[in-house]
Amino acid sequence: MTLKNKMTVTGLLAEHIGQMEEIERMCFSQPWSRQVLEDELANPLSRYFVGSSGGRVMGYVGTRLVLDECYITNVAVRPEYRRQGVATALLRELEEFARRGGFAFMTLEVRESNAGARAFYSQNGFAEFGRRRGYYSLPDEDAILMTKELKEDALC
């Protein structure tokens, strides 16, 4: 049995913020602060899905809703739970939410050097769509834009 079968996916709750802050520090060179995460919880245009087991947050995915786009802000999984289906389950939950909401597509940015993440998103139906030069810092790096269409002719 994989971890995703033991994981419960729920919407973001205030009780998740502390553990999300820990995961941010583990996963990102410029982690979001507790205040930013609390602001996301309060933002009516943001949606987060949290995967947990036994009260432990294993990972989360977040999006901002912009017109007919779900702009994915974060996908993060605790290192000890990676490659066990957690991110896939969270991304699928987000996609189901987006489809139910009638959104046309999902987009995200990923570091150009993050080959593992780029492959993961490609395997989940995202295509490279563009580049944002100098988007990231610490270290300085371009972002690769990736998009997944949810409706035919979404980007026409």
Q: Report pLDDT digits (tens) over 70-107.
A: 999 999 999 999 999 999 999 999 999 999 999 999 99
121 is catalytic: yes
Region 108-113: mean pLDDT is 95
109 is catalytic: yes
Catalytic residue, chosen from 81, 109, 112, 152, is 109
Catalytic residue, chosen from 80, 121, 128, 149, is 121
What is the residue-averaged pLDDT of the chain? 92
Quick one: three-class SS letters along the chain? CCHHHHCEEEECCHHHHHHHHHHHHHHCCCCCCHHHHHHHHHCCCEEEEEEEECCEEEEEEEEEEECCEEEEEEEEECHHHCCCCHHHHHHHHHHHHHHHCCCCEEEEEEECCCHHHHHHHHHCCCEEEEEEEEEECCCCEEEEEEEEECCCCCCC
Task: Please check whether the domain covering 3-149 is classified as CATH 1.25.40.80.
Answer: no
| pLDDT at residue 151, as a whole number | 82
